[in-house]
Structure formats: C-alpha cells, structure tokens
Structure 1
C-alpha cells in the first residue's frame, strides 16, 4: 500500500464522525439554553411581580370611573381628559403643563449641579487618589448620608436654613445681611439643594466606574502628543465617560421627576410638582385620577430615557 493511500484512509472516518457529533453538540446547546432560562427565571419572576403586574394594574385603574364614595370598574377616558383639561384650547398654559414645567425646572437644575459635583468628585477619586484603600474610604464617606432616611436628611436642613437658623445667624454676625433671608427655606432654592444632596451619589458612582475603565495609556499618549490637561479631559476622558454620565443622568432625572416628599418638605407644601399632584390625589382616594397622572408621568420619563439612550448606545458602550 502506498504512503498516499495510508494518509487518505483516516479522512472518511473523520467525515463519518462529524454527523455523529452534531446531535451531541445540538443537545448540549439546548441544555445550555435551558440552564440560562432557569438562571434568569428568579429575576424574571421578581420583575413580573413587582414591576409588570403593578404597572398593568395602574394602567387598568386609570381607565376606571370614580366618584366621592367609590371606584367603579367601568371603562372611561375622562381621567385622561381631566389631566389635559384646557391644555389644547389655546391661551394660557394649563395646570398640567405648568406643573410639568415646574418639575422639569427642578430636574434640569438638579441634573446640572449633580453632574458638575459628581464628575468633579469622581475625577478626583479616579485620577488623583492612587491608593485603592483610600478610594474605598472616600466612597464610604459618599454613602454616609444613606445611613439615614431621606426625610431625616431633609429635616436636618431646617435648623440650618430657617429664619433663625445657623446660616442666617452667621450672615448677620458677619454683617453681610441686616435681616434674615426668607428665601433660604421653603423655596425653590431649598428644594434644589435637597435634590442635589440626596442624588449626587447616583451621579458619582457610574461616572467613577467609567473613569476606572479608561486605559491610562491613552492619557499618557495624549500628554506625549502635547495635549494640555484641559484638552485631555475634554477630548479623552469626557467621551469615554459618556456611558457613566448617561446612566447617572437617568438615575437623577427619574428620581427627581417622581419625587414628592422633597418638594413637600423643603417647599413648605407650596411648590407644585407632578409627584405632589399624584400624592394629593392618593390622599383624597382619587385612585383612577392618580393612576392616569402616573401613566402620563411614566410616559414623560420614558421619553427622557429614550432621548438619553439615543445620544449614546449604552448596550454597545457597556
């Protein structure tokens, strides 16, 4: 037998082995898919029970009728008509649009301040603190406010910003003012201050996470190319931090848009917001009207998130 024929003999055997191995690979792939489904099942059940079902119930109740005494499970669009009453008739802005504009104002101010503070803190911790132990300590300091409830943290501002608070007393002692400043508490300033205090950490964490993933050799290359610190920050660090900025922005904007406790406590129950409207309707047991407002608010939040995700592809970046 020639050498060429001996080398050719294993080829048919290998070709015959391939069809036999194919069913085994297909069965293994099916087992892996089933295992993945079983692993995702607990989280899917939690998502279904605590998000999808309550959202469906809220949507259903928003179409029910109600009066002063009872809720009637009968389909109606009147709740949504009441939400947008007078909004499309021209003239002055309707109550709903004014309320959303007020809420949007707080959202933009809180977002701008939390972004500036969060980016600065994250930049300092990521690029100027070399020790991982010190980074952990600094992060622990950022989370200290979360050791108490939001209400307690907001109430803590009252003795500072009140008419007879420490800030007014200090300003008058320094001769900067002759009388206490009334606008420090129960005002837009107090609401924005509380929002920044409560939500800045939600901006710090994702931005810091993005900064820690930046390859430091890119910064060295920028310096070697003659870029200044500002040019390196603007052309290298900021573009690579877009996923963290987008995630932090989603956190802050969604939290502020639905908040009613902060607006009520720091605004002295005098400032309107969408969350406050829903809370008042709930307190008067007007559940269908509150559900309709909640659905409209959910739609507005979804539009904001969709706009942010169009600016950057989070799935690709992460």
Structure 2
C-alpha cells in the first residue's frame, strides 16, 4: 500500500470519532438554533428570530461583557499564580522527586468534585464566616464585609481556585524542557535575574502559557454553576442564559446563544494563537 493510503487509513478512525462526537453535535446545535418555538413546543424551520432577539437585546451584550470580564480577570490571576508556581517547582526545587511530589500536591484539590470545592468557599467567606471573623478579631474591620460573598469577588476567587491548575500544568511542562545551560550562559554574559526571566524564560514558556490560557478562558466562558452559586444568583453570564432557556424548554433560543458563545470563544482562541506557534508544544 502507498504511504498516502496508509496515512488516510490510520487517520480515518480518529476522524470518524471526532465527526460523530464533536462535529455532529455542533452541527445539530447550529441547525436547532434556526428552529422556531412557541410557549408549548418547537418546530423545524429556518428562521432568524432567535438571533434577531438575541443580538437585538441590550441584556445580551451586558451578559457577554460580564462573561468576558470574568474570563479576563481569571486569566490574569491564574497566569500570574500558575507561572509563579511552575517557576518555583522548576528552578528552586532541585530534586526531581520533590518536584513531582509538590506538583502532585497541587493536584490534591482535584481529587474532589468541582462543586464541593466551590461551595466550600461559602462558609469561609460568609457574613459569619472564618474570613470575616478573623478580620474583625484582628481589628481590620468593625463589621462583616458584605462583598466577600455573593459578589464578583467571590465568583472570580472560585474561578481562580478551580482552574489555576490548568495553567500550572502546561507552563510547568514547558519550563521543564528549558535547557539549563541557556540560563547559565545568560548569567555568564552578565544578565540579571530579571533579564533572564524576561528574555529567556518567558519567551521559551509562551507555548505553555498559551495552552493554559486557552484552557482557562474556554472553561470560564462556558461555566455557569460557579456564577450561580458564588453570586447567589445575582450575576448572570452566558452559561446562565443557556441554562435558563433550557429550563424553560426554549431549546432554539439556547442553541442560538450557544452558537454565538462558540463563535466568540473561537475568535478569542484564534487571536491568542496569533501570538505563538502552539505546534512547538504539541
């Protein structure tokens, strides 16, 4: 058999699996987004009513801006924390055994459910929670801080807690591949620690940073459980819109919102991929 036929034969099973489990569901969502609906039923059609209503509402743009804001804040914080943790494990822990042990320690929170880890913040940040009691006992405040819970702060904190590890893993993997002789050569050339960080380490870590950014941004954009619980249902994001439409059996409207969200995320990923060749990491 020719090399071309062999390559196609090897790629066919994976292509069929991706087409069935990825492309087919997306195609179905796109198709349903053009269907019509009434108060009691939905019917196949090709109409733009769902998109007209979605894109013509000011609420939609406010919700999308809120979702983008959460994604941006979570991305910035998780990038700083993830890079710091990966840097410490790579360049300050010399023993490979300790590197692996400390890295596994970072994964301990993932041994429990995301919902359990998220809800655990509620008694900690509540009006009579540990955080407020500690602040009052230390004299930093005379009354409980209301903004610690059911606010944008608590939502962002929960997002960072849930998704920072998705930033740590690819950055740590990239840092471990850096040839240490490059850093020694930079020191010998008279470079300072900050210059080595900005001119050697960060440029070589860009693929890992971008992979982590894609993970974090896409996860935050589609999350709705965290926003619902940590905001006390006072803040809405795009995921909440889709969830509410599904609860009301408004599947065409939910599908249209999902399509717009998918396009938004794809644009964001495409923009991020313009800054680095991710194939170097893969």
Same topology, TM > 0.5 = yes
TM-score of the aligned structures, taking structure 1 as reference length = 0.86
Taking the aligned partners of 1:223 and 1:107, their CA distance within structure 2 comes to 37
Taking the aligned partners of 1:164 and 1:257, their CA distance within structure 2 comes to 31
Give the aligned partner of residue 261 of structure 2. Answer: 297
Q: CA deviation at 1:130?
A: 1.4
Residues 1:114 and 2:78 are matched in the alignment = yes
Q: Which has the higher contact order (CA 8 A, sep 6+)?
A: 2
Taking the aligned partners of 2:257 and 2:190, their CA distance within structure 1 comes to 55
Taking the aligned partners of 2:127 and 2:280, their CA distance within structure 1 comes to 51
Residues 1:164 and 2:135 are matched in the alignment = no
Give the aligned partner of residue 72 of structure 1. Answer: 43
Give the aligned partner of residue 137 of structure 2. Answer: 173
Taking the aligned partners of 1:129 and 1:185, their CA distance within structure 2 comes to 36
Give the aligned partner of residue 92 of structure 2. Answer: 128
Secondary structure class of the residue paired with 1:311:
coil
Taking the aligned partners of 1:209 and 1:140, their CA distance within structure 2 comes to 13
Q: CA deviation at 1:314?
A: 1.5
Taking the aligned partners of 1:240 and 1:248, their CA distance within structure 2 comes to 14
Residues 1:232 and 2:203 are matched in the alignment = no
Structure 1 unpaired stretches of 5+: 1-26, 87-93
Taking the aligned partners of 2:102 and 2:5, their CA distance within structure 1 comes to 43
Structure 2 unpaired stretches of 5+: none
State how 1:19-168 maps to structure 2 within 5 Å.
27=1, 30=2, 32-86=3-57, 94-168=58-132
Kept in 1: contact 2:174–2:281 (CA 8 A): no
Secondary structure class of the residue paired with 2:144:
coil
TM-score of the aligned structures, taking structure 2 as reference length = 0.97
Kept in 1: contact 2:207–2:280 (CA 8 A): no
Taking the aligned partners of 1:278 and 1:307, their CA distance within structure 2 comes to 25
RMSD across aligned positions (CA): 1.3
Q: CA deviation at 1:182?
A: 1.0
1:51-84 deviation line (CA, Å, top 9, x unaligned)? 1111000000000000111111011110000111
